[in-house]
């Protein structure tokens, strides 16, 4: 399974608009999150081992930051013909099974994903209250999880994760600090584009 790094996106760039169906039967757009101080937009899926490892971390963070005014939204763009486990029906099952505590949207046409410039799962974008990009990077400095990567990558690994970079970025955003000067890319499976 090829490991793909998120690509650089200009900090300060405006969030693309979207209007997508979620597992709860509603459609969500930027307007749905208008009252939040920040919006964490995660491109993810059900089948990828990196995405699976990220889900509990993201669910925990979403719970921690909900009352602080930070909203989370997950978007699954993967082609379900190639990967049936990423279908809308299975997404609904995973929301219950994993107790996902934020909207989980389906980008069937993959247009929104292309507008954001997402390339891997998970690919994490944090936008400030003006919906300008504040952080685009990994969850922590032990990402991806060591047990999920090949031995060549593991040999370069120095230690277990000590810095929760996404959490630090969210706290900095809430404190009106400038975006982190160092933003390391997230890594995961490549997005499964339609052919």
Cβ 187 vs Cβ 48: under 8 Å: no
pLDDT attached to residue 160 = 55
- Whether 162 shows a pLDDT value over 90: the answer reads no
pLDDT tens digits for range 90-101: 999 999 999 999
Could you tell me which of 94, 28, 38, 43 has the C-alpha nearest to residue 68? Answer: 38
pLDDT tens digits for range 2-33: 789 999 899 999 999 999 999 999 999 999 99
Distance, CA of 9 to CA of 15 (rounded, Å) = 11
Task: Taking residues 139-158, report their average pLDDT.
Answer: 60
Hey, is 37 helix, strand or coil? coil
- Whether 150 shows a pLDDT value over 90: the answer reads no
Cβ 13 vs Cβ 132: under 8 Å: yes
The pLDDT confidence band at residue 56, using thresholds 50, 70 and 90, is: very high
Give the burial string for 162-184 (b: 16+ CB within 10 Å, else e). eebbbbebbebbbeeeebbeebb
Domain boundaries defined on the chain = 4-9+37-190
Cβ 186 vs Cβ 122: under 8 Å: yes
The pLDDT confidence band at residue 143, using thresholds 50, 70 and 90, is: confident
Hey, is 132 helix, strand or coil? strand
The pLDDT confidence band at residue 156, using thresholds 50, 70 and 90, is: very low
Task: Taking residues 33-54, report their average pLDDT.
Answer: 97
Q: Which CATH architecture has domain 4-9+37-190?
A: 3-Layer(aba) Sandwich (3.40)
pTM, two decimals, is 0.92
């Amino acid at each position: 399974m090829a490991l793909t790094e998120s690509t650089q996106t200009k900090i300060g760039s405006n969030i693309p608009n979207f209007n997508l169906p979620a597992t709860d039967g509603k459609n969500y757009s930027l307007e749905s999150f208008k009252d939040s101080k920040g919006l964490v937009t995660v491109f993810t899926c059900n089948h990828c081992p990196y995405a699976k490892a990220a889900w509990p971390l993201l669910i925990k963070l979403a719970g921690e930051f909900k009352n602080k005014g930070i909203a989370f939204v997950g978007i699954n763009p993967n082609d379900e013909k190639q990967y049936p486990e990423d279908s809308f029906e299975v997404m609904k099952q995973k929301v219950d099974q994993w107790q996902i505590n934020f909207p989980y949207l389906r980008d069937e046409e993959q247009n929104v994903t292309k507008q954001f410039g997402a390339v891997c799962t998970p690919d994490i974008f944090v936008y400030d209250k003006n919906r300008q990009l504040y952080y685009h990077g990994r969850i922590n400095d032990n990402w991806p999880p060591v047990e999920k990567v090949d031995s060549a990558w593991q040999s370069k690994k120095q230690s277990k994760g000590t810095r929760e970079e996404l959490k630090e970025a969210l706290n900095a955003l809430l404190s009106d600090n400038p975006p982190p000067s160092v933003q390391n890319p997230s890594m995961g499976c490549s997005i499964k584009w339609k052919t």
